[in-house]
Amino acid sequence: MKSIVVLTAAIAVLGVFSSAHAYDPKATITDLDARLARIGAPRLEGSDTVAGKPVPAIYWGDRKINNNYDVVDAVRKAHGATATVFVKDGAEFVRVSTNVLTPQGKRGIGTQLARNKAYEAVIKGDSYCGPIDVLGTAFDACYHPVKDAAGKLIGVTYIGHKK
């Protein structure tokens, strides 16, 4: 009987550990950024239409990320997390690739990063990890600035685990 209790306690501890690891925003954003880096270096080139609006086209290597959902969908599959790539357009950051859904069930592309704590950090070139509201839903999130080879801020990567 004692061995069953010990085994049950061990399984419970492992379950808590694996759940905590599975929902680690910093590990998830590191994975998103690594997946993008394997494609190539980030850069802007020309413009593209996203949700009917012209915005700068953001690339990693030769792959245009605007309207491309392979990487963000892979992050959802691997981590159960929302993921987005924003491109810097003037003083705004516009969602050009995301698995975040609007209340109507469509991808939230073309929407802007809200003027919140994350915006305040990334506009200065800093990262932000913490609680955030994304299109009306609470998340534990991380945002990382994306800089080109010259060090210019050109976008933001985001991941979020729903609270």
Q: What are 86-145's pLDDT values in tens digits?
A: 999 999 999 999 998 888 899 999 999 999 999 999 999 999 999 998 777 889 999 999
Rounded average pLDDT over 5-28: 51
* 121, amino acid identity: A
Question: pLDDT for 22-64, tens place per residue?
Answer: 589 999 999 999 999 999 999 999 999 999 999 999 999 999 9
Q: Which CATH architecture has domain 2-162?
A: 2-Layer Sandwich (3.30)
pLDDT at 156 over 70: yes
Q: What does the domain layout of the chain look like in residue ranges?
A: 2-162
The pLDDT value given to residue 15:
39
Residues 57, 43: Cα–Cα separation, whole Å: 8
Q: How many helices (H) and strands (E) does the chain have?
A: 4, 8
pLDDT for the residue 22: 56
Residue 8's pLDDT is: 33
Residue 14 pLDDT > 80: no
Residue 7 has pLDDT above 80, yes or no: no
129 within 8 A of 123, measured Cβ to Cβ: no
Comparison of pLDDT for 93 and 14, the residue scoring more:
93
Stated pTM of the model: 0.85
140 DSSP β-pair partners: 131, 161
Q: Which residues contact 40 (CB under 8 A, 6 or more apart)?
A: 59, 60, 61, 62, 63
pLDDT at 2: 41
Between the alpha carbon of residue 132 and those of residues 80, 111, 137, 143, the distances in Å are 17, 16, 8, 10
For the chain, how many residues are written?
A: 163
